[in-house]
């Protein structure tokens, strides 16, 4: 992306960068609208009510007032964008139809405030967004046309891909998102790991994989927030995040539509990989909005090592498991 004369590459704001991508004007508009909505979410996070909303979400989890407010901000902005057909939110029980026709329109699945329970201890949280062409949201994640997240941390950053590189923007003092990293790439192997879930509920393959990581000197880096934890692996270009199947929870915790597909799309386009332990996350055919799956996401060598350990400890030779992963 060449910078205009007299400006540095890092004064390029989001809309101009998007216009340099081979995407429709409607998709440029949609991504910019989501970026605008995030500014109201930031304000809610920084000043809003930390209490409970007295309602629960699709998973029976108690909703915080911030969950409900953030969801309302995102949904209203998507509806009024004029380019959205269907909307699915982690905070809504069913799909919301904004427009009936599919021509030139997009469908959006989002988690408006992932990690919201971390706000009251002042840890970083984020918004995660997955975008498809047309009206069908129950597609394999490989069909996404865009994925992005906004990270509300010490700085506010926005990361997106439309399939041609992964790019980071940081909010400046005018609340504009300007380019800070372009074409981010993962290294082949990492030295940090983010292990989700209770260790005493790990199956043997996962336990042995963690010991393998510790033996090779990897450092544990886990905040409990999916967005900051993935962002750390991506920005350092090395490491692995995992939330495995647990004893009693064979599909782990994280949601395919709202969390795993967008992050897998981003990490794969940065040269990493993402697996459920058997197949790439992006090849999962979702059967319901609330479908969950185990996830191993980050450097290719680390993700492959994880799937090899799982295979070895399920009696399947590692080579066979490697074949499955391609
Ligand atoms: P909340 O949205 O309920 O705070 O959960 C956050 C999350 O979905 C995801 O952001 C984290 O990676 C994961 O849960 C952490 O789960 P554990 O607390 O079980 O490790």
- What single string gives the DSSP state of each residue in 195-255? E-S-GGGB-HHHHHHHHHHHHTTPEE---S-HHHHHHHHHHHT--EEEE--BTTBTT-S-B
Q: Tell how far the Cα of 182 is from the centroid of ligand 1, in angstroms.
A: 28
Mean pLDDT value across residues 8-36: 93
Residue, of 307 and 322, whose pLDDT is higher: 307
DSSP 4: P
- For the CA of 227, the nearest atom of ligand 1: 10
Mean pLDDT value across residues 185-190: 96
At 58 the pLDDT is 74
Question: Pairing mode, if any, of strands 96-97 and 125-133?
Answer: unpaired
Residue 67 annotated as part of some ligand binding site? no
Residue 229 annotated as part of some ligand binding site? no
For the chain, what is the mean pLDDT? Answer: 92
pLDDT at residue 317 greater than cutoff 70: no
Residue, of 29 and 63, whose pLDDT is higher: 29
| Strands lying side by side in the sheet with 240-243 | 219-220, 192-195, 240-243, 295-298, 273-275
Place of tokens 């692995």: 240
Show the CA angle centred on residue 161, arms to residues 236 and 181, nearest 5°.
40
Mean pLDDT value across residues 250-265: 98
Residues paired with 126 in a beta bridge: 114, 151
Alpha-carbon distance 159 to 185, whole Å?
13
Domain covering 192-324: architecture: 3-Layer(aba) Sandwich (3.40)
Mean pLDDT value across residues 158-187: 97
CATH topology for 9-181 is: Fructose-1,6-Bisphosphatase; Chain A, domain 1 (3.30.540)
163 lines ligand 1 (CB under 6 A): no
Query: What's the pLDDT band for 316 if we cut at 50, 70, 90?
Result: very low
Smallest Cα–Cα separation from 300: which of 325, 263, 282? Answer: 325
At 290 the pLDDT is 95
At 213 the pLDDT is 97
Encode pLDDT of 53-104 as tens digits: 778 777 777 777 899 999 999 999 999 999 999 999 999 999 999 998 878 8
Which pTM was predicted?
Answer: 0.92
Query: What's the pLDDT band for 2 if we cut at 50, 70, 90?
Result: low
Query: What's the pLDDT band for 322 if we cut at 50, 70, 90?
Result: very low
Under a CB-based contact definition with an 8 Å cutoff, are residues 267 and 298 in contact? yes
Alpha-carbon distance 213 to 39, whole Å?
38
Alpha-carbon distance 36 to 42, whole Å?
10
Mean pLDDT value across residues 242-262: 97
pLDDT at residue 318 greater than cutoff 50: no
Tell me the domain boundaries of the chain: 9-181, 192-324
Tokens of 73: 């901000």
224 lines ligand 1 (CB under 6 A): yes
Q: Tell how far the Cα of 224 is from the centroid of ligand 1, in angstroms.
A: 5
At 178 the pLDDT is 97
Alpha-carbon distance 217 to 68, whole Å?
41
């Amino acid at each position: 992306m060449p910078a205009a004369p007299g400006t540095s590459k890092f004064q390029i704001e989001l809309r101009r960068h998007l216009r340099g991508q081979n995407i429709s004007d409607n998709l440029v508009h949609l991504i910019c609208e989501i970026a605008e909505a995030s500014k109201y979410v930031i304000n809610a996070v920084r000043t809003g009510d930390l209490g409970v909303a007295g309602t629960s979400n699709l998973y029976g989890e108690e909703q915080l007032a911030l969950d409900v407010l953030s969801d309302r901000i995102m949904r209203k902005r998507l509806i009024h964008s004029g380019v959205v057909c269907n909307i699915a939110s982690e905070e809504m029980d069913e799909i919301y139809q904004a427009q009936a026709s599919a021509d030139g329109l997009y469908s959006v699945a989002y988690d408006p405030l992932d990690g919201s329970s971390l706000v009251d201890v002042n840890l970083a949280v984020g918004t995660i967004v997955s975008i498809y062409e047309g009206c069908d949201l129950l597609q394999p994640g490989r069909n996404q046309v865009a994925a992005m997240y906004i990270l509300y941390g010490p700085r506010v950053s926005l990361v997106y891909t439309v399939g041609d590189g992964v790019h980071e923007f940081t909010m400046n003092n005018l609340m504009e998102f300007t380019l800070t990293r372009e074409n981010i790439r993962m290294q082949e192997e990492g030295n940090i790991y983010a292990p989700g879930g209770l260790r005493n509920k790990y199956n043997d393959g996962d336990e042995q994989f963690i010991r393998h990581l510790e033996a090779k000197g990897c450092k544990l880096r886990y905040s409990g927030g999916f967005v900051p934890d993935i962002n750390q692996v991506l920005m350092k270009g090395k490491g692995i995040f995992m939330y495995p199947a647990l004893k009693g929870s064979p599909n782990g915790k994280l949601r395919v539509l709202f969390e795993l597909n967008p992050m897998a799309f981003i990490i794969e386009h940065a040269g990493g990989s993402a697996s459920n332990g058997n197949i790439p996350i992006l090849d999962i055919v979702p059967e319901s909005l609330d479908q969950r799956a185990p996830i191993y996401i980050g450097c290719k060598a680390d993700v492959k090592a994880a799937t090899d350990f799982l295979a070895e400890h399920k009696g399947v030779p590692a080579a066979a498991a490697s074949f499955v992963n391609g």
